[in-house]
Chains A and B, each alone.
Chain A
Amino acid sequence: MSEQAADDISGTPAGGPRRLRPRPAVAETAAMRALLIATAIGFLGLFVVLPLVAVFVEALRRGIGHYLETFADPDTQAAIRLTLTVAAIAVPLNLVFGLSAAWAVAKFDFPGKSLLITLIDIPFSVSPVVSGLVFVLLFGAQGVLGPWLAAHDLQIVFAVPGIVLATVFVTVPYVARELIPLMQEQGVSEEEAALTLGASGLRTFLTVTLPNVKWALLYGVLLCNARAMGEFGAVSVVSGHVRGLTNTMPLHVEILYNEYNFVAAFAVASILAGLALVTLVAKSLLEWRYGDALGRSRLY
């Protein structure tokens, strides 16, 4: 079909006695191809690779000793610990929620389904600052629940729970959004087959549904984790910026930078950038090792 279409476009008389040979999908000249490739690489280099390299260059500007010294600072250690803690809470929560939401949306019909999809998308469309402010307005001392929380000596905003809440809020869509299109495309026939053969609902989910989406799920988790660790805006609003207590890594980078401590600022930034690189490498490895399975899950 596409073979014929390509023939028609290139003006070859259809049905002529010609050898069957694969034709290139695009027929640009070599110069044009070189230009397109150079543009793409140049763009990537300028906007992705260069800033990333700059982070590491700045971090190592005064030698590896200075770089490592940054991490001896207890405030920096506390920031790293807090960020890891927050991610360790937010990511599993979103894994469970994202998987169940995607499963519900893709495999079942129920009233309010489109409302659920819209709700999942809200954190994408709301500015992170607003997401943070919502929690201050809800749980702050002057907020709706403020007096009740104060009476029970519960601290939500300007403490770790607030930071976790804000992070969970902004990362809600990542896992679900990665899974929904794939699961919808896969349909329910395999599950139906499993159920017909007598498998229980749970077994069907664990042995049919889950394996079918494993790569998309892992990819969603990687993205979710990167965002959870890197979130600045929403966390900034609910953090209070008390160093050693409520300061996450991205906030700590800003503080160090504002204190003219550029090496330390970029050193902490390099960890965040390193995380991005690890995510990238993990993704590439997955694609290389399990290209077929991933390719199938990328059909949508």
Chain B
Amino acid sequence: MMSGDCRRVERPRRMTMLLLALGLAMTAGGGVPAAQAQSATLVNVSYDPTRELYRAINDAFAKEWRARTGQSVTVRTSHGGSGRQARAVIDGLDADVVTLALAGDIDAIARESRKLPAGWQARLPSNSSPYTSTIAFLVRKGNPKGIRDWDDLARPGIAVITPNPKTSGGARWNYLAAWAFELDRSGGDAGKAETLVGAIFRNVPVLDTGARGATTTFVQRGIGDVLITWENEAFLAEKEFGAGAFDIVYPSLSIVTEPPVALVDQVVDKRGTRAVAEAYLQFLYAPVAQRLMAAHFYRPARPEHADPADLARFGSPRLVTIDQVFGGWAKAQAEHFADGGVFDRIYQPGAPQGTRGTPSLRPGAATR
């Protein structure tokens, strides 16, 4: 037995050498390309539905920047639920610019990491939002459940798809739009608003972490009767899967969503990218980018630069702003989405008070 093993000693050595060589080859081929002098890299940490938009804008910006300075620039993007992305930046993800779903998430970065000043939102035009959007419904073709407005979503037997307000910016807008609707209808009764929003969230079978996850749940997996989502996301889903598979429904009242952009001062100073990062953010307000935004179903801050045909696609629900109804993001965030806020009360089973017997609803629960 011993001798038998000794004769085979040569083989594993060869095998080891082979493995080693393979490992070395992989490492050699796998090095991260070193930055060249004539090129710059920007990291744009964004929210979920802007993947297609920023791909188009990044290309346009790279072209423009090369024409202006001769330097080639690569903009790398990361997408995910807005709250989750903000968390990653706070935890050390080196973003040169953040383009998130709502001001509250960038406020959180400024507050917790001090990587940018608290007054960041005043640094760029239109509250640092190069475009706005609103919240709409995507329903199955022909609207079989007859969904017309927010109160229809609270009807028993309607399955509503929305991401989780804790991680997704879009979901927080969804929540606030529903709240604003009931507040408006009831003449300012916050109790009624809480009842309606609570009933809507009880109809949610799956809470995804980001808007795109919710869209795939609705569109690909075929779960739910209605998807509450960004207007731009609804149009994109309709475009991707062919008009006729879904209908877009505008509620009677919705909210102006302002996804802002900001420079992360500490990161650009560390990486020496301030000039190109600032130019990138300015470029978002330039005619080329504004036109691209309208083409990608966002409402540009300067509509005069957009193709009128693109703008004509949008519906016109009555729109309110977060400042009018909720007194700004800081207040809305603290009251509704902070730990122990209204959303936790509506959402968590067995909360001590004011739940009116809310049945259990857990994050990630796959089916009802």
Contacts and interface: CB of A to CB of B under 8 A. Distances in A.
A245 B43 contact: yes
Given A82-B30, A85-B26, A255-B79, A244 B91 contact: no
Interface residues of B, number: 41
B265 interface: no
Interface stretch (A11-19, A141-149, A173-181): A141-149
B30 A88 contact: yes
A251 to B, nearest CB: 10
A211 B9 contact: yes
B26 to A, nearest CB: 4
B79 A158 contact: no
A187 interface: no
B23 interface: yes
B107 interface: no
B88 A158 contact: yes
A141 B113 contact: yes
A262 to B, nearest CB: 9
Chain A interface SS verdict (over half): helix
A162 to B, nearest CB: 9
Contacts of B39: none
Interface string A75-90: 0000001101101110
Contacts of B31: 85
B30 A158 contact: no
A212 B12 CA distance: 10
A157 B91 contact: yes
Interface stretch (A25-33, A61-69, A120-128, A235-243): A235-243
A260 B330 CA distance: 35
Given A142-B112, A158-B88, A211-B5, A244 B212 contact: no
Nearest to B10: A211
A113 B27 CA distance: 34
B94 interface: yes
Chain B interface SS verdict (over half): helix
Nearest to B241: A260
Nearest to A293: B8
Given A88-B27, A141-B113, A242-B43, A146 B78 contact: no
A294 interface: no
B216 interface: yes
Nearest to A80: B30
B91 A141 contact: yes
B241 to A, nearest CB: 8
A160 B32 contact: yes
A207 interface: yes
Contacts of B77: 242-243
A240 B2 contact: no
B142 to A, nearest CB: 23
A258 B213 contact: yes
Contacts of A81: 29-30
Interface in A216-275: 218, 221, 240-245, 255, 257-260
Contacts of A157: 91-93
A190 B26 CA distance: 37
B155 interface: no
A298 interface: no
Nearest to B215: A258
Nearest to A241: B78
Contacts of A60: none
B130 interface: no
B309 interface: no
Interface string B160-195: 000000000000000000000000000000000000
A91 B76 CA distance: 29
B366 interface: no
10 contacts: A82-B32, A85-B26, A88-B24, A136-B91, A158-B91, A193-B2, A211-B12, A218-B15, A221-B19, A244-B74
Interface of A: 81-82, 84-85, 87-89, 91-92, 95, 136, 139-143, 146, 150, 153, 155, 157-158, 160, 190, 193, 207-208, 210-212, 214, 218, 221, 240-245, 255, 257-260, 293
